[in-house]
């Protein structure tokens, strides 16, 4: 079972320079993404126009922004830029708990800083979308499942093609844009709990905020378990590490534990 691959890690890993660089990359990428995405949302509130046209524009905005930040972070951190994606990788045993927590902290801080910059630089309102709990939770589960499943196929699966580094940002952005079009006007279509967290923190508005965490984490866990159980051979362990590390240290057949020992001696 995938759960048997879960690795805790250790404090030495948490303070390793490569881990800290990866967390910094997640922070910067999340800041760029939320600033661009929420900046568009805030500006669209100030203009009147056709709802359908605004929804299409929002989908394009989010798709382009996510494709860019995933692309620039892939070689450093794996290009998660989403706590739910990180959680899915953790459930599948591709990232340790120590690195997972650092990624979460970096991602949430990046979102908060982006919303603060928007609020104080252009005076944008950053109040989060207030979804209807039951329907929105199901919507977040389904859309996040699609996002994390796509991420697994293009970024984590050890059988992926060498073009995965190029394809992953494009398909990740595309699925986010498509999901926004499918129901963004009704539920917010976050698929990323860090984005509404930054908005909620800055505006201190927490109406039904739990929906974004429960829905996205459940969807990510289901995607991880499905992909790990059905599509990834049970004799293969692979941690989503920066390419500069994994190529130099990972040998086929190594377990995550032995790889961690090579990188961070106990």
pLDDT per residue as tens digits for the range 93-137: 899 999 999 999 999 999 999 999 988 887 666 766 666 677 888
Q: Which range, of 3-17, 27-41, 138-152, averages the lowest pLDDT?
A: 3-17
How high is the mean pLDDT of the chain?
82
Structural domain span for residue 253: 2-263
**pLDDT recorded at residue 256:** 46
Per-residue model confidence as pLDDT tens digits over 201-255: 998 989 888 999 999 999 999 999 999 999 987 766 554 444 333 333 333 344 4
Pick from 176, 225, 216, 218: which is nearest to 70 by CA? 176
**pLDDT recorded at residue 233:** 75
Instruction: Inform me whether the pLDDT recorded for 185 exceeds 80.
Output: no
Q: Number of structural domains, the chain? A: 1
Pick from 176, 121, 123, 125: which is nearest to 146 by CA? 176
**pLDDT recorded at residue 255:** 47
Instruction: Inform me whether the pLDDT recorded for 189 exceeds 90.
Output: no
Q: Model-level pTM? A: 0.84
Residue 168's SS3 state is helix
Instruction: Inform me whether the pLDDT recorded for 17 exceeds 80.
Output: yes
Kindly state the percentage of the chain with pLDDT values over 90: 47
**pLDDT recorded at residue 166:** 80
CATH number assigned to the domain comprising residue 179: 1.20.1080.10
Confidence of residue 186 (pLDDT cuts 50, 70, 90): low
CA angle 13, 14, 20 (to 5 degrees): 105
Quote the DSSP letter at residue 204.
T
Per-residue model confidence as pLDDT tens digits over 39-69: 887 777 666 667 778 888 889 999 999 999 9
CA 205/CA 13 separation, integer angstroms: 35
Contacts of residue 93, defined as CB under 8 A and 6 or more positions apart, other chains included, come to: 2, 4, 5, 6, 7, 228, 237, 239, 256
**pLDDT recorded at residue 49:** 66
Instruction: Inform me whether the pLDDT recorded for 262 exceeds 60.
Output: no
Q: Which range, of 74-83, 137-146, 160-169, averages the lowest pLDDT?
A: 160-169
**Contacts of the segment 42-45: beta carbons below 8 A, 24+ positions apart:** 42/118, 42/122, 42/124, 42/125, 42/126, 43/124, 45/125
């Amino acid at each position: 079972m995938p759960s048997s691959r879960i690795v805790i890690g250790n404090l030495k890993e948490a303070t390793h320079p490569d881990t800290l660089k990866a967390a910094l990359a997640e922070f910067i990428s999340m800041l760029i993404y939320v600033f661009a995405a929420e900046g568009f949302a805030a500006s669209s509130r100030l203009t009147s126009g056709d709802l359908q046209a605004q929804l299409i524009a929002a989908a394009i905005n989010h798709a382009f922004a996510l494709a860019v930040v995933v692309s620039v972070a892939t070689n450093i951190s794996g290009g998660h830029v989403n706590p739910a994606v990180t959680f899915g990788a953790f459930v599948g045993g591709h990232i340790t708990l120590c690195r997972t927590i650092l990624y979460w902290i970096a991602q949430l801080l990046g979102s908060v800083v982006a919303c603060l910059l928007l609020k104080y630089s252009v005076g944008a309102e950053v109040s989060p979308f207030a979804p209807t709990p039951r329907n929105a939770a199901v919507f977040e589960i389904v859309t996040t499942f699609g996002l994390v499943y796509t991420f697994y196929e293009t970024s984590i699966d050890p059988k992926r093609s060498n073009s995965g580094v190029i394809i992953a940002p494009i398909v990740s952005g595309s699925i986010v844009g498509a999901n926004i079009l499918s129901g963004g006007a009704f539920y917010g279509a976050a698929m990323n709990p860090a984005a509404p967290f930054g908005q909620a923190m800055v505006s201190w508005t927490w109406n039904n905020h739990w929906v974004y965490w429960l829905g996205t984490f459940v969807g990510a866990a289901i995607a991880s378990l499905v992909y790990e159980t059905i599509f990834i051979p049970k004799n293969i362990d692979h941690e989503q590490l920066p390419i500069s590390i994994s190529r130099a240290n990972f040998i086929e057949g190594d377990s995550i534990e032995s790889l961690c020992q090579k990188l961070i001696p106990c």
